[in-house]
Amino acid sequence: MTNAFTASGLFAFYLSDAGIAAEFGAAAFTGRMLAFEAAWTRGLEAAGLVTPEDAAEALSAIAAYSGSAPGSGSERDGLPVPALVAALRQGLSEGGARAIHTGATSQDVIDTAMVLTLLAVAARTAQRLQQVHAQVEGLRARFGDRALVARTRMQAALPATASLRLSAWARPLGDHLTRLGHLRDDLARVQIGGAIGTRDAPEGRGATVAAEAAAALGLGLGPVWQADRSAMVGFGHWLALVAGTLGKIGQDVLLMAQQGVDEIELSGGGGSSAMPHKHNPVGAEAMVALARFVGAQQGLLAQAMLHEQERSGTAWALEWLTLPAMAEACGASLRHAERLIASVERIGAPD
């Protein structure tokens, strides 16, 4: 669902990925906003700021929420949280209502829910990355000893074996998995600052509530990062590396599949409406295009660092406009990689 055209159904999943799209969909994201609100209520209770009875009433309302129009307030507010909080508090006792969201702000909810979303995306992506890595290693086991002409600067260089090129595919895929480990340290933290980032509300006990909420969500605490978007930009960077390596693989396949070069044999391939004899390596083409797309978005996402004053709606929206599309593009590219590698019948010179 990278845009209305690519998500139209006309292209099936050529440039999109249903699984990743679902992570950013209303159901999953609302679930994570509710998880934040429940954790926050638990934090308020643990800090002695609301009674167990009020907390129970609030948690019950949060668990029962099933808003059919979660974005109803966004036309007015630019984000769904005020309307969501109002809906949750609807009909509660005064104490129950106060046990919801008190001391938190919309950005706390959305940023923390986004962290949970990106962690889910990272897990899915890593799993598929491992799969592709294993497939490449499988190719190397099967075809690694076949002759392949090493090519540098688009020119034949020296005789080599398929293993040389396949190692260059496999190694960065493995490295990206390692990098994700480091990245999680930056990313897997709540964003809780309250109205302006002082993390003191309510009643000067905000830090305690935040610590409890973080624990309830299974996230680290760390300092307030409302205006420091390094972790978000860092996640985009990781996606750009992943998509980039897949794009390199796609590019190599396109070059190997040329008539006259014939260093790869693929089963299947896209049909042509004008030339029935053709089998277009359309998955490899998509991998290249998606890599350029993800890489280029990073150039915009990086500008989200210019997050003015305590909290910026403008810079924030740049994250929403880029990260979900980048993640989905990575997912689409991984799917193409899985199929493409599974369709390899030979790499290297024919017998």
Within residues 36-65, the interface with a second copy by CB under 8 A covers none
Q: Which of 60, 78, 93, 123 binds a second copy (CB under 8 A)?
A: 78
Whose Cβ is closer to a second copy: residue 52's or residue 178's? 178
**Alpha-carbon distance 267 to 97, whole Å?**
61
Using CB under 8 A as the binding rule, whether residue 195 contacts a second copy is answered as: yes
Q: For residue 103, is it left (φ>0), alpha (ψ between -120 and 50) or beta?
A: left
Q: Which of 60, 93, 127, 258 binds a second copy (CB under 8 A)?
A: 258
Q: Is 37 exposed, middle or buried (0-12, 13-18, 19+ CB in 10 A)?
A: buried
Whose Cβ is closer to a second copy: residue 22's or residue 92's? 22
220 has which bridge partners? 189
Q: Which of 112, 281, 334, 347 binds a second copy (CB under 8 A)?
A: 281
Residue span binding a second copy (CB under 8 A) among the ranges 41-49, 80-88, 132-140, 343-351? 80-88
Query: Could you tell me the smallest distance in angstroms from the CB atom of residue 46 to a second copy?
Result: 20
Using CB under 8 A as the binding rule, whether residue 85 contacts a second copy is answered as: yes
Q: Which of 37, 31, 36 is nearest to 96 (CA)?
A: 37
Q: For residue 348, is it left (φ>0), alpha (ψ between -120 and 50) or beta?
A: left
Whose Cβ is closer to a second copy: residue 52's or residue 180's? 180
Residues 6+ positions from 8 with CB-CB distance below 8 Å: none
Q: Which of residues 100-139 bind a second copy (CB under 8 A)?
A: 101, 103-106, 109
Whose Cβ is closer to a second copy: residue 140's or residue 311's? 311
Q: Which of residues 2-21 bind a second copy (CB under 8 A)?
A: 2-15, 20-21
**Two structure tokens written together for 13:** 């999943």
* Neighbour count for residue 304 (Cβ, 10 Å): 23
Q: Which of 127, 157, 342, 345 binds a second copy (CB under 8 A)?
A: 157
